[in-house]
Structure formats: structure tokens, C-alpha cells
Amino acid sequence: MKLVTLLSAAALLSMPLTAGDYDAIGKAIRHTWPQCGTIAVVCDAAASKGAVDSLAGSLPGIKLMVVDVKGPQEMGKAMGTLGARKPDAVILLAGDHVAGDGSSAASFLIQRMAAAKVPTAATTEAGVKQGAVMGVGPGTGGRLLANAKAASATGAAVPQGATQI
């Protein structure tokens, strides 16, 4: 497992500025949790490179910490890294084969982050049902969704106007 840190500004300079799948979640996070300075993603960095680049482009001014895992067996090490680095929030990458929405690794991640009072966000309804505090994106039909129980567990604000799951 290796830790990769990207700065959103650097990512913006190296990729074309186009609307991506993560624009809505980036906007929702900046609006609902403006104190977020660092957001983490746990994924297979090589396999999810396009999604990571798109996410970085949707988070201008926010540091993106990518924790690279190649399989579910590395989730314990990933949690150690997250515990040491203390991100302000975690975003699930829907299509990641290791910790994508709906996976057991994502459930593990969501539960451990909630215990550490770190909210998780997703881009699918499945991620919100799984315990992410908020979700918006292609997998929600564009609707802003919220999980009030998860928000309460992490101490995070629920986005205004969100549909409760």
C-alpha cells in the first residue's frame, strides 16, 4: 500500500477543465462542510486514475489524499494511514473495485470513519444507504441525498434541501 497526495490546483493544471462526475459532490461538500481542507479517497489508484483526476478537479483549494489499496486485505493498513493523517472527510469512488459503493470494504471504511467522527460522501444512492452522510452525482439521478443517522454519528451537517434516506 502506498499513499499518494495530490493538490487540487496541480491536478487542475494537468487536466482539461470539463464537467465531471464529481462536480456535484465537490460543490455539495464545499457548501455543506466548508471547513474541509483535506479529503481522502481509498481506492486502487491505478485502476481509478480517471475518477481520481475528475474528483481532484472538482475540489479546487482542497487537498486530496489518495490511499492506494490493491485489495480488501489492505483496508486495515488504509485505516491506519487515515487515522494518522486525519482527513476532514472521505469520498467513495463508486466504480472502484476495492472500496467502491456497495462493497464490504466501503462498509468497513464508512463504519471506521464514523467512529473517528469523519463523514463519508458518495455519488450513489447505494453509498448513502450504506452509511455515507451525503451523496449526489450520476448514481443518485442528480438528487442530493442525506443519511441523517450517519450525520449524527459523525457530527457532520446534513446538506440543506437533501432528500433523507
Per-residue pLDDT of 109-142, as tens digits, reads 999 999 999 999 999 999 999 999 999 998 999 9
pLDDT at 3: 56
Q: Is there a domain that residue 9 lies in?
A: yes
In-domain check, residue 95: yes
Q: What is the pLDDT of residue 21?
A: 85
Does 59 fall in a domain?
yes
Answering whether pTM is above 0.85, one says: yes
Check which CATH number belongs to the domain holding 51 and give it.
3.40.50.2300
Q: Give every residue of the chain whose pLDDT is below 70, as ranges.
A: 1-19
Q: Where are the beta strands (DSSP E) in 17-84?
A: 38-43, 63-68
Helix 75-85 vs helix 104-115: crossing angle, to nearest 10: 30
Alpha carbon distance 75, 43 (integer Å): 10
Is residue 156 in some structural domain?
no
Domain residue limits at 6: 2-117
The pLDDT score that the predictor gives to residue 61 is: 93
Tell whether 137 is covered by a domain.
Answer: no
Q: Is residue 47 part of a domain?
A: yes
pLDDT value at residue 2? 53
Short-list 125, 138, 136, 129, CA closest to 159: 136
Does residue 24 lie within any of the structural domains? yes
Q: Does 128 reside within a domain?
A: no
Q: What's the CA angle centered on 113, arms 111 and 115, to 5 degrees? A: 70
What's the pLDDT at 1? 53
Number of domains, the chain: 1
b/e map of 54-68 (b: 16 or more CB within 10 Å)?
bbbbbbeebbbbbbb
